[in-house]
Structure 1
């Protein structure tokens, strides 16, 4: 719908207008101006269509590159549906197994990647979600939804379990993860203390608010709870200046900020309302954040198809939306990772490929 602003009397006030009338009309003018400013701000939001992005197929039999980590010139690392972390070594080397959990080789029921799609097997196979490198040590940290916080050395191999609980409460659904490159500390989320990942829908339907924001201290090897009783905390990332964390909450479609330093240290506050259900959040190259959207918000008029299908937004450092990503129907994203040269790598927990937008 097109909105137009109109004026009468060529913008001049009638001479007979009373003070009260002038006051009312001044207020109306202010409202109109505010709406115009809002429209102008909305028009400044850049829209980028991802449907023409390059597709990097995953190996046959696996899917779900939920989160992405990068090392070296061509190295791309991602957790997939059979519990492994894979490495892409470039077109010549292709995909290879980089890391796996103890069950991957020891449990006889895991005879094929496809068996891990069965809900009763997923908890045995493991499901690596958030992945990030400590660039100083070369260690890769992994938030496995079922098996806990893990890490593996620069050469890969069997991942070591670092923690499976905090404050005596077991992890049920580890999800997002980020590493402070200055200290080596790891920040991560447990989306629910009641439901594991395969009961993801129950978290939403029951308005579960038992999630936690957690910290693994690289020096003491201890896990502390930074914030508890959270509704579906998902992705987490450290701000560029390391003063706060940004946490995406799948429900209620919002991002929050947890202050680590400064006068607000320890406070948890609303950072942004989002136009969809967010998954992971990553820093962009300008001090802001990319937030992947797994699904748009439910519409009041479900019969009317939305004009565009949103799969991600970029927020400025102040939480204001400055760019949106769109895609073809049926495509969902779980991560938007910006790399050098403004390349956008697109991960999805549902698709069998990784996208690249240049």
Structure 2
């Protein structure tokens, strides 16, 4: 279906239904593969789950294994037995969300909602806090499990941050942001893309060049975004946790938007749809295939 962009061009948008080629169930008792990552050897996916661990998929013969957790994880019995996640269990066990590998070192960087930014080596184990990474703090007022309050109260205390490994310090690049969520470094590394869950937008912050330090709108989005990832065509995949309501529509659609692909200029060129009730938090493209993660589901999807 064509869509108008701010540059007044009519762009044909490809619509792709997420007819899952594969359901990859998570281990019993855990949910919420919010973010997905593959290492430099092509192994994975790796994902953080609701009990505080980062898991690694080793293929059908191996299944899921524990790859990483924070240093004090095993000191808390509630972390190692299946229990329903709560604010108490998450604050003790951690809740790993964003994941990304450093290609040269092989280290995995983990953005944990409670334990902060952590790093673990290529062989996994206990994660330590360090790294040279761009990340967001969605709110300085509300913890992760009260994310709906961020939206309901129009909270705008979010921040875009950088941890400098050399200086070992965190720098606030931009504050006063409304619900900043996923982050992706651009293909040419001149800026970072930041998805704002509210007000359904993607912005970019310039790291270098004549616009260094400038924060500007990249795209208005047709839903509430979660993570953003570089695609294989010079653009970005943005996962949508929920589609925007449309005026005049009174019945729930059989399918709804769960993700959009933007080109490098922020123009929407592809949409992903899924059955009612399916929500996504990440779309990761690898070798032409789309791996789909969700903070709410108990499996990972694959679209070939």
* TM-score, normalised relative to structure 1: 0.80
The structure with more strand, counted as a fraction of residues: 2
Comparing 99-108 with 347-356, greater Cα deviation is found at: 99-108
Runs (4+) of structure 1 exceeding 6 A deviation are none
Q: Deviations over 1:244-279 (max 9, x none)?
A: 111000000000011111111100001000000000
From 261, 274, 298, the equivalent of 1:352 is 298
For 1:226-237, list aligned pairs within 5 A.
Answer: 226-237=173-184
Q: Deviations over 1:187-233 (max 9, x none)?
A: 10000011100111110011000000011112222110110000000
The number of residues matched between the two structures is 300
For 1:128, the equivalent position in structure 2 comes to 96
Distance between the aligned counterparts of 2:142 and 2:178, measured in 1? 12
Distance between the aligned counterparts of 1:47 and 1:114, measured in 2? 39
For 1:158-307, list aligned pairs within 5 A.
Answer: 158-162=126-130, 185-301=132-248, 303-306=250-253
Comparing 321-330 with 65-74, greater Cα deviation is found at: 65-74
1:301: Cα distance to partner?
A: 4.5
Comparing 70-79 with 203-212, greater Cα deviation is found at: 70-79
For 1:140, the equivalent position in structure 2 comes to 108
For 2:50, the equivalent position in structure 1 comes to 81
User: Does the CA-based 8 Å contact 1:185-1:215 persist in structure 2?
Assistant: yes
1:185: Cα distance to partner?
A: 2.7
Comparing 259-268 with 297-306, greater Cα deviation is found at: 297-306
Distance between the aligned counterparts of 1:124 and 1:296, measured in 2? 33
* SS at 1:309 equivalent: strand
Distance between the aligned counterparts of 2:43 and 2:285, measured in 1? 14
Q: Deviations over 1:160-180 (max 9, x none)?
A: 133xxxxxxxxxxxxxxxxxx
Q: Deviations over 1:7-50 (max 9, x none)?
A: xxxxxxxxxxxxxxxxxxxxxxxxxxx99x97x935x1001000
Q: Deviations over 1:276-317 (max 9, x none)?
A: 000000011111100000001134456333474000000011
Indicate the RMSD between aligned Cα atoms, in angstroms: 2.0
From 152, 157, 162, the equivalent of 2:120 is 152
* SS at 1:124 equivalent: helix
Matched, 1:103 2:72: yes
For 1:323, the equivalent position in structure 2 comes to 270
User: Does the CA-based 8 Å contact 2:254-2:276 persist in structure 1?
Assistant: no
Distance between the aligned counterparts of 2:170 and 2:248, measured in 1? 45
Matched, 1:68 2:15: no
1:104: Cα distance to partner?
A: 2.0
Q: Which residues of structure 2 form unaligned runs of 5+?
A: none
Which structure has more relative contact order (CA 8 Å, sep 6+)? It is 2
The structure with more radius of gyration: 1
The structure with more helix, counted as a fraction of residues: 1
Distance between the aligned counterparts of 2:22 and 2:66, measured in 1? 23
Distance between the aligned counterparts of 1:74 and 1:357, measured in 2? 18
For 2:23, the equivalent position in structure 1 comes to 55
Distance between the aligned counterparts of 2:122 and 2:228, measured in 1? 24
* SS at 1:141 equivalent: strand
